Structure 1
Amino acid sequence: MTVIGRPLDRVDGRVKTTGAARFAAEHPYPGLAHAALVPATISRGRITTLHTGEASAVPGVIAVLTHLNAPELKPAPKVTPLRLSSLVSGTSVGYLQTDEVHWDGQPIAVVVAETSAAAREAAALVRADYAPAPAMVDFAAAEADARPQRGNPLMPGEAKKGDAEAALAAAPVALDLRYTTPPHHHNALEPHATTAVWDGDRLTVHDATQAIDWFRAHLAVRFGIPAADVRVLAPFVGGGFGGKVSIWPGTILAALAARATGRPVRLALTREDVYRTVGGRTPSIQRVALGATRDGKLTALVHTSVTRTGRVGGLPEQVTSQSRHLYDAENIFLRQSIVPLDLLSNTSMRAPGESIGTFALEAAIDELACELDLDPIELRMRNEPAVNPMDGKKFAHRMLREAYAVGAERFGWHERDPRPRSMRDGRWLVGMGVASAYHPSWRFAANVTVRLSADGTVLVRCGFQEMGMGGATAQAQIAADALGVPFEAVRVEYGDSALPMSPNAGGSAQTASVAGGVLEACGRLKRSLAAMARRTGGDTPETILRRANLPYAEAAAGSDTRFGRISGQVRFMANLLREQRRWVKAASGAQFCEVRVDPDTGEVRVSRWLGVFDIGTVVNAKTAASQLRGGIVMGLGMALSEETLVDPRTGRIMNAGLAEYHVPVHADIPPIEVSFLDDPDPTMPLGILGAGEVGITGVAAAVANAVHHATGTRVRDLPITLDKLL
């Protein structure tokens, strides 16, 4: 390989940095109208009266759509892992179809106007009278009502090996700890936006989505038209992180408003709209209990969690996922429980489950190391398993020992005095902490076509999503090496449902999934050229095609026919179940953190960071490092500042915007060093394990562990704010 691994610039870098790239809210259409949402102000109940007269009188208003005059919308499909596109349903609500209210912030009206300003002015004038109903919105108070979640092939449920509770009671050293994490919300650079256009019964949607094909299928169901009559375009998406996997009210209502008015309609959410109508990360309550011998061998590991969903949707999170695989405990018990609340559905947020699950597990491991007076890395290495602890399956790829060895040397871990409050830099207390990073690796079916022209250029076509991670660049590198052509000769078309089907950009699976299709199509193309050469002669693709009098040769992986899609789904599920019986696949790593804490104010500053990661083959060193740094930055926000504040009386989000929801800024971020082991996993396409989500895992725990080392104070409830250290 001569191209794969190189730190090449992104192929879309110039159009993005010069402003030439058009995002979902930037596509012009003749007669374009603008829409704004009117949110409900109760958590549960019915609308008794809607006052829309003042709104309708605002100059430029075209229509005020409510449940009394909106076009018909079909019900959302039932969620089932057997039809993956059904997982895109953000909620099960029929927007503007009934007078029911299911969460504070649910859209109860849409104003369409000639300008965005007029639409927003009018939306603020719509008033509603309600008949409220009793609502449960207090997560902490609902903990006792949580019930164990059911497992499925994509997300296992309860797991048990031996008798962990008995082993815990008998252990020479035992800890039984409780950790909590708050709700979190996405704040992508580009807020959600949709431009919807109807041409008869054909719908075109420009959307900020990371699930193009699934959006297409969902819109077809909701509007009762064939999927072939829906086109979804998303060539540029300004960040997603899971928040743009599901289809939320804004997308549906933009298309609904366009159908009702006969005009192209743009609906761009404000930051507050995003909080009110787009799901975020669930809060969690976690118990981690560890039993060990005096020399640090784990005899018991108990990890349980309580998270929430909405009554109208949301998926459970795999909070205990990493606890199935990271430590070789003799007895293990894992359980995930959920409680439905009268709140907007939760949704995926970068490493759902593992990001908050690693906080609790890795902080607890650090606490046990302190109890045993052992170095926290040494404790981890004494319990590093040779095979999967739960069932003895082989690890397809696991290099945590190597990651810790490399990281400890580069970070200067040997300089750490293990005693809390023992290290200072002037008046600052200095602490160092570590944690393991872990995220499962996935691969889904992806259809790809590859065309090699007689002039030596290559066109790769696949409807995958580009949210800033450099997907088109990576796939061009893969195709260039597979066909033996220069990187500059490859062009990639993506971001359009009219292209061959791709899975959503989620689960850190897109690069490996599309790579599998690219490699398959390139292999078929090379075999086709070889057969052609035997007939006509020629020793290069260009001469072969010229002698055959052909402008190009093309090959495909997968099929977008109805039968092809069904068979692809069947193959995916069969392959998933087969591989789950044989292997455990995951990206992993070691996170090293240094903090400085002001002893008088409790101010925490992360001063240094090193992450050493086993992500399999590194396709592009520059974009992979950027992905991992971004995950670490997001994890620092989770550790130190981010928290969605929900009023436990009303269910209303009280800090719905960047003024009061505190994401990290440049001044909060230290130099972040990222290192790869760059060793391929032989069971994955091109050896790729995935880099999008593993970077955030373990980050919050590493910070919490470093803060304890600096101050002697354990913070088990995120975020780590000043009041918890004073």
Structure 2
Amino acid sequence: MTDLIPELRTPTAPEGTGRVRSGMPVSRVDGRAKVTGEARYAAEHEAPGLRYGVVVSGTIARGRITAIETGAALAVPGVVEVLTHLNRPKIRSWDLAYKDMTAPGGSPFRPLFSDRIFYSGQPVALVLADSFEAARHAARLVDVRYEQEAHETNLLASLDQAYKPRPLKAGFTPPSSTGDADKAWNEAPVKIESQFYHGVEHHNPMEMHATTVLYGEDGHLTIYEKTQSSQNNRWYVSRVFGLPKEKVTVRNPYVGGAFGSGLRPQYQLTLAVMAALRLACPVRVVLTRQQMFSFGHRPETWQKVKLAATADGKLSAILHEAIQETSRLEDYVEVVVNWSGQLYACKNIKLGYKLVAHDRHSPIDMRAPGAAHGMHALEVAMDELAYRLRIDPLEFRRINYADRNPLEDKPYSAKELSQCYDKGAARFGWKDRPLEPRSMRDGEELVGWGMATGMWDSLVMLARVSAVFHADGRLVVSSAASDIGTGTYTVMSMIAAESLGLPLERVTFQLGDSTLPFAPVEGGSSHVTTVGGGVHGACDKLKKRLVRLTKSMPGSKLAKARPQDLEFADGKVQLRNRPETAVPLRDVLAAAGVDRVEEKFFMKPSLLKQRKYTRAVHSAVFCEVRVNEKLGIVRVTRVVNAVAAGRIISAKTAASQVIGGVVWGISQALHEESFTDHRFGRFMNHNFAEYHVAVNADVHDIQVIFANEDDRIVSEQLGAKGVGEIGIVGVSAAISNAIFHATGRRLRGTPITPDKILLGEHDVPVQER
């Protein structure tokens, strides 16, 4: 794809933005489109004859459908069809057809495939009407009858049913161990043992999951979708429905938040395509806020951490085990315990991870999957052991600082965590912190200071990028990437503009269309290193091509110039620091008799080189809390998050990502949990009134610091790493540790709600294992 796709309304920076350099605090190029309403999301694309679909959700957790009465619904004026498993269009039956690019091992859930019920809230019918109001009314009239079977949704009551995930089936590598951790722990002079429990959390982005399918005269489907990969969803649709990929185009130019909920195709996509094929017309399906709780979630998790140290504070044993729930259909796994084998120097490490199969939808990745819970447990346990040793928690981490991965004996590709400790502590004022709990007070509130370390993987994958320089001075760069609010439009435009020395407003980055060059699913904080590396590579090839054309121009004053002596600036190529030698690139194309020059680049990381290193981003989180013990209220009044994430390309969007992660960390620590009525296997608080998230009143002073780091192992082209996940990691632990410092009560699980502040001994249900 070499030309702009008009329907995407691809944003560019405002005129006058000028030249950019890596690290500048550039405002989002898509900001104006979003605040003015020009940006259109999945449910905002219109078409003549559009039909509206409303999902009917099942009410039992396990069993089968015995009958569906649709007569009353079909009698509602404007209703045209009610789709069920009995009358849906033909879809494929084998598991492989439903395996999207991020699917775990097992058998994926297939909407309206049969009469089987696998979880409460499962879609059992789709009502289609000429108006949303008619479809919504009719959906309430569909009568579904069931034959119920016994179900299980209580993790703490079924820990004895835990099993080790099957590596080949689950697609994950089991955590390994080193030394003799049990022996070292038993013989250690100082040790602690702690249990942790984390309830289910649900994705609640501003934009609810939605699909608009436009049905072309030739049967071509153009699908506007809330997704983190247009190509993943095209792959899924073409395979499930047996359609040639040329007959399916998926677009996601704007995504109103996803955080992992859009990694896999959700069921509204399947239902909308079913309806469009059945009716041969455009269809829109939007999930309600309540139905946003009816697919994947951050899994309920139980953990045990045992740490031991010598009297001088050196870790001698780390034992970390975790059990989490998954569905009966798939083995969804997370890297919960792995961090405990990568972060601190220790010769004896033992890690364990198991699953319990429940009658729920398969969990899915949620921002920093595994690390959000695993690092919480490790870092709260580290704080607890530091107090047992009577050592300052920050000093304890310095004592056990690892220069190499202790489990695999690998060097880190880059690790400026010590710089994070230094800069974060100095900004926060950690040196003034008294060690004793309950030693600071302000009026009715106890004041506590806590800290924790954060860690997340640095990923780089495969991608293709196209770069086209036009005769009018425009640069169009394209890849089927996604921008889920992270600033992808802006960062990629900056990389391209800096590479060719162009004003930012002369650069357009195209994403969000499955027909564009291949890009991986946007997840794991990998887009900057992967797609960004591809943008740099494509632009570098373009520069070399333009240099050759410049040198070959008749009478070129740069004919004898060495390529390394040339630079691109303001739409021209010139000898470095000699603007009088500049040749406009427009003249170069005119002399070559072409209206554009295009280059393509295949971003392929050097895996053999990378495997020799542990590749990660690191952070140090410092926080202040104020606790009213009489009311059980905790306020997080100050957070400093110091992050080492390689070279920062866009300082403003990177800081924004970390701030957003901190806010979510506050929410994880103090607010978020989906409660289940286990009698029915059903989530009860599936709305914003009762599923609490952090709001403006919960957010106070948040400061972000970036360490000086340049990682050419992870990103040979840019030296950068991703920051999407690291912002949340360690925040809940720092808050928990600060609460201990304020109150002297050790609260380990999340969320830490007022009742737990008042009755601290009931924090984590004790399970003997």
Secondary structure class of the residue paired with 1:594: strand
Match of 1:557 among 579, 596, 601: 601
Cα–Cα, structure 1 residues 149 and 88, in superposed 2: closer, same or farther, change >3 Å? closer
Partner of 2:368: 351
Match of 2:146 among 123, 126, 130: 130
Match of 1:442 among 459, 478, 481: 459
Match of 2:75 among 44, 51, 57: 57
Q: How does 1:411-426 map to 2 (within 5 A)?
A: 411-426=428-443
2-side partners of 1:227 and 1:88: how far apart?
23
Match of 1:633 among 636, 658, 663: 663
Cα–Cα, structure 1 residues 679 and 179, in superposed 2: closer, same or farther, change >3 Å? same
Contact 1:431 1:706 in 2 (8 A): yes
Partner of 1:546: 590
Provide, for residues 613-634 of structure 1, a one-character-per-residue CA deviation record: whole Å limited to 9, x for no partner.
0011111111001000001101
Q: Which amino acid aligns with 2:113?
A: Q
Contact 1:47 1:99 in 2 (8 A): yes
Match status 1:598 vs 2:628? yes
Provide, for residues 418-438 of structure 1, a one-character-per-residue CA deviation record: whole Å limited to 9, x for no partner.
111110011210000000011
Match of 2:721 among 689, 692, 699: 689
Partner of 1:563: none
Q: How does 1:279-298 map to 2 (within 5 A)?
A: 279-298=296-315
Partner of 1:147: 163
Match of 2:265 among 223, 240, 247: 247
Q: Which amino acid aligns with 2:592?
A: A
Q: Which amino acid aligns with 1:14?
A: R
1-side partners of 2:171 and 2:548: how far apart?
41
Match of 1:380 among 397, 400, 425: 397
Match status 1:39 vs 2:83? no
Partner of 1:518: 535
Contact 2:100 2:236 in 1 (8 A): no
Provide, for residues 543-564 of structure 1, a one-character-per-residue CA deviation record: whole Å limited to 9, x for no partner.
3212111111110013xxxxxx
Match status 1:102 vs 2:118? yes
Q: Which moved more, 1:610-619 or 1:647-656?
A: 647-656
1-side partners of 2:545 and 2:171: how far apart?
37
Match status 1:707 vs 2:739? yes
Provide, for residues 93-152 of structure 1, a one-character-per-residue CA deviation record: whole Å limited to 9, x for no partner.
332221111111111100001111111111111111111122222111121111122447
Contact 1:283 1:308 in 2 (8 A): yes
Deviation (angstroms), 1:530: 2.6
Secondary structure class of the residue paired with 1:285: strand
Contact 1:79 1:89 in 2 (8 A): no
Cα–Cα, structure 1 residues 84 and 512, in superposed 2: closer, same or farther, change >3 Å? farther
Contact 1:39 1:105 in 2 (8 A): yes
Contact 2:104 2:330 in 1 (8 A): no
Contact 1:322 1:438 in 2 (8 A): yes
Partner of 1:120: 136
Match status 1:262 vs 2:306? no
1-side partners of 2:417 and 2:90: how far apart?
54
Q: Which amino acid aligns with 1:232?
A: V
2-side partners of 1:76 and 1:651: how far apart?
28
2-side partners of 1:721 and 1:638: how far apart?
11
Q: How many residues get paired?
A: 709
2-side partners of 1:91 and 1:246: how far apart?
14
Contact 2:456 2:616 in 1 (8 A): yes
Provide, for residues 403-456 of structure 1, a one-character-per-residue CA deviation record: whole Å limited to 9, x for no partner.
011111110111111111110011210000000011000011111100112232
Q: Which amino acid aligns with 1:146?
A: A
Provide, for residues 565-613 of structure 1, a one-character-per-residue CA deviation record: whole Å limited to 9, x for no partner.
xxx8xx66xx44x245301111111000100000211110011110000
Q: How does 1:517-536 map to 2 (within 5 A)?
A: 517-536=534-553
2-side partners of 1:662 and 1:612: how far apart?
27
Q: Which amino acid aligns with 1:123?
A: A
1-side partners of 2:698 and 2:239: how far apart?
45
Q: Where do 5+ consecutive residues of structure 1 fail to align?
A: 559-567
2-side partners of 1:439 and 1:579: how far apart?
20
Match of 2:678 among 644, 648, 654: 648
2-side partners of 1:586 and 1:542: how far apart?
42
2-side partners of 1:435 and 1:226: how far apart?
50
Q: Which amino acid aligns with 1:222?
A: V
Q: Which amino acid aligns with 1:551?
A: D
Secondary structure class of the residue paired with 2:463: coil
Secondary structure class of the residue paired with 1:309: strand
Q: Indicate the RMSD between aligned Cα atoms, in angstroms.
A: 1.8
Provide, for residues 649-689 of structure 1, a one-character-per-residue CA deviation record: whole Å limited to 9, x for no partner.
22101011111100010000111001111422111140111
Contact 1:40 1:107 in 2 (8 A): yes
Match status 1:723 vs 2:741? no
Cα–Cα, structure 1 residues 90 and 239, in superposed 2: closer, same or farther, change >3 Å? farther
Contact 1:90 1:347 in 2 (8 A): no
Provide, for residues 480-520 of structure 1, a one-character-per-residue CA deviation record: whole Å limited to 9, x for no partner.
11122222211111111111111111000011111111111
Match of 2:706 among 669, 672, 676: 676
Contact 2:105 2:171 in 1 (8 A): no
Match status 1:586 vs 2:604? no
2-side partners of 1:344 and 1:76: how far apart?
19
Cα–Cα, structure 1 residues 505 and 76, in superposed 2: closer, same or farther, change >3 Å? farther
2-side partners of 1:154 and 1:411: how far apart?
42
Secondary structure class of the residue paired with 1:160: coil
2-side partners of 1:721 and 1:192: how far apart?
29
Please, what TM-score do these two structures have when normalized by structure 1? Answer: 0.95
Deviation (angstroms), 1:84: 7.1
Contact 1:76 1:218 in 2 (8 A): no
Partner of 1:25: 43
Q: Which moved more, 1:84-93 or 1:284-293?
A: 84-93
Contact 1:203 1:231 in 2 (8 A): yes
Q: Which moved more, 1:101-110 or 1:308-317?
A: 308-317
Partner of 2:479: 462
Contact 1:448 1:462 in 2 (8 A): yes
Partner of 2:761: none
Deviation (angstroms), 1:202: 2.1
Please, what TM-score do these two structures have when normalized by structure 2? Answer: 0.90
Cα–Cα, structure 1 residues 76 and 503, in superposed 2: closer, same or farther, change >3 Å? farther
Contact 1:608 1:672 in 2 (8 A): yes
1-side partners of 2:225 and 2:547: how far apart?
42
Q: Where do 5+ consecutive residues of structure 2 fail to align?
A: 1-18, 559-572, 574-584, 759-769
Contact 1:76 1:92 in 2 (8 A): no
Deviation (angstroms), 1:79: 9.4
Partner of 1:565: none
1-side partners of 2:380 and 2:754: how far apart?
19
Q: Which amino acid aligns with 2:611?
A: R
Partner of 1:564: none
Cα–Cα, structure 1 residues 421 and 364, in superposed 2: closer, same or farther, change >3 Å? same
Contact 1:522 1:555 in 2 (8 A): yes
Match of 2:232 among 214, 231, 234: 214
Partner of 1:667: 697
1-side partners of 2:601 and 2:212: how far apart?
31
Secondary structure class of the residue paired with 1:236: coil
Secondary structure class of the residue paired with 2:718: helix
Partner of 1:622: 652
Cα–Cα, structure 1 residues 669 and 113, in superposed 2: closer, same or farther, change >3 Å? same
2-side partners of 1:120 and 1:358: how far apart?
43
